[in-house]
Amino acid sequence: MPALATFGETMVRLSPPAGERLETARNLAFRTAGAESNVAVAAARLGVESTWLSKLPDSPLGRRVTGDLRRHGVEPNVTRSADGRQGTYYLEFGGEPRGTDVIYDRERAAITTATVDDVDLEAIRDAEVFYTSGITPALSETLRETTAALLAEATAAGTRTAFDLNYRSKLWTSDEASACFEDLLPDVDLLVAAERDAREVLGREGDDEAVARDLRRAFDIDVVVLTRGSDGALAVDATDTYRQPAYDADTLDPIGTGDAFVGAFLARRLRGASVPEALNDAAATAAIKRTLSGDLAVVTPAEVEAVLDGAAADISR
């Protein structure tokens, strides 16, 4: 059975070439994208058997999603629905001062009606780690209930649980998210959160270490990881605090960088690495992802090792 099981929505991402507007573009790049499947892909590319659980429409677009994930080593474990549609989002890249814009088109997506009965619970019980993120319960009241039930099911089965806050202001308010997260976090063993979200959504104060330790203590979490953008990441466990700088990268596409970080962190931990070792691999994988178009971290272990070893980027002949 797969060591890692993830649950959540995967969308189809459509984006015009950099610098072009959606309203005038003649061509759109077509990609698969979703936090939980992104994490599964990163872990699978780094050698960890992974499965992604979800609900999809029985349609060409739904089949496109599962085909893309299989191509990168992830086994989709989905319920096919005759109702609902395939969620999509549009990504319009733009430099300063315009910035990059995301437009969601995910109303009535099949995943929003997913209940516990739509999920293969044995896949979660048999996995070593079960992962989901704060995007999933933001999509519908049904998914709030389902996410809570799946985390509780994993905990009861002895499966370790991992959760990324992944707060999205276009999906719900910070007060709505905070109330939901407060209910979910007691069933979480590993929490990943952007430092900004830990402060603004969960209301934590103090320096970064104080914020992480407060979260760990409040919810009895084994490991808390705070991501800090270009300032790297920080993790706390029962014994120590670990700081990890970010690796320099030429950013071609930042979307999915956080998911690459989480997928690599989980992959290394599943293979017995310490927290600081896993942080190092996660930072290296995130740097590589920033050089890749699309949400998926299409990386190899050798590339990650090259970053860790400080190998200079050059033409490979």
pLDDT tens digits, 135-155: 999 999 999 999 999 999 999
Q: Which residue has the higher pLDDT, 104 or 1?
A: 104
Show the CA angle centred on residue 49, arms to residues 266 and 263, nearest 5°: 25
Instruction: Determine the average pLDDT of the residues in 184-190.
Output: 98
In this structure, of 127-131, 248-252, 270-274, the range with the lowest mean pLDDT score is 248-252
Residue 314 lies in a domain: no
Domain that holds residue 160: 4-304
List, edge to edge, every strand of the sheet that includes 74-81. 74-81, 50-57, 4-7, 129-133, 160-164, 190-194, 223-227, 233-236, 241-244
What whole-number distance in Å separates Cα of residue 227 and Cα of residue 234?
7
pLDDT in tens, 82-100: 888 999 999 998 878 888 8
Total domain count for the chain? 1
* SS3 label, residue 167: coil
**Residue 36 main-chain phi, psi, to 5 deg:** -70, -35
Dihedral (C-alpha) 134, 121, 117, 179: value to the nearest 10 degrees? -30
The DSSP secondary-structure symbol of 248 reads P
Question: Residue 94 has what pLDDT?
Answer: 83
Instruction: Determine the average pLDDT of the residues in 251-264.
Output: 95
Residue 21 lies in a domain: yes
- Inform me whether the pLDDT recorded for 8 exceeds 90: yes
- Inform me whether the pLDDT recorded for 257 exceeds 50: yes
Question: Residue 317 has what pLDDT?
Answer: 45
Beta-bridge partner residues of 101: 92
What whole-number distance in Å separates Cα of residue 272 and Cα of residue 294?
30
Catalytic residue positions, numbered: 259
Band the pLDDT of 314: cuts 50, 70, 90.
low
With a CB cutoff of 8 Å and minimum separation 6, the contacts of 27 are 16, 17
Give me the percent of the chain exceeding a pLDDT of 90: 92
Residue 309 lies in a domain: no
Residue with tokens 């400080």: 310
Residue 159 lies in a domain: yes
| Domain containing residue 247: CATH number | 3.40.1190.20
Q: Which pTM was predicted?
A: 0.96
Residue 315 lies in a domain: no
Instruction: Determine the average pLDDT of the residues in 285-300.
Output: 96
Question: Residue 311 has what pLDDT?
Answer: 62
Q: Which amino acid would we find at residue 275? A: V
- Inform me whether the pLDDT recorded for 25 exceeds 60: yes
Residue 176 lies in a domain: yes
Neighbours of 92 (CB within 10 A): 20
Question: Residue 312 has what pLDDT?
Answer: 54
Question: Residue 87 has what pLDDT?
Answer: 95
**Residue 14 main-chain phi, psi, to 5 deg:** -125, 125
Interhelix angle 275-289/257-270, nearest 10 degrees: 150
293 with 18: CB under 8 angstroms? no
Residue 316 lies in a domain: no
Instruction: Determine the average pLDDT of the residues in 99-106.
Output: 90
The DSSP secondary-structure symbol of 113 reads G
Dihedral (C-alpha) 61, 67, 68, 74: value to the nearest 10 degrees? 130
What whole-number distance in Å separates Cα of residue 58 and Cα of residue 166?
28
* Average predicted confidence (pLDDT) for the chain: 95
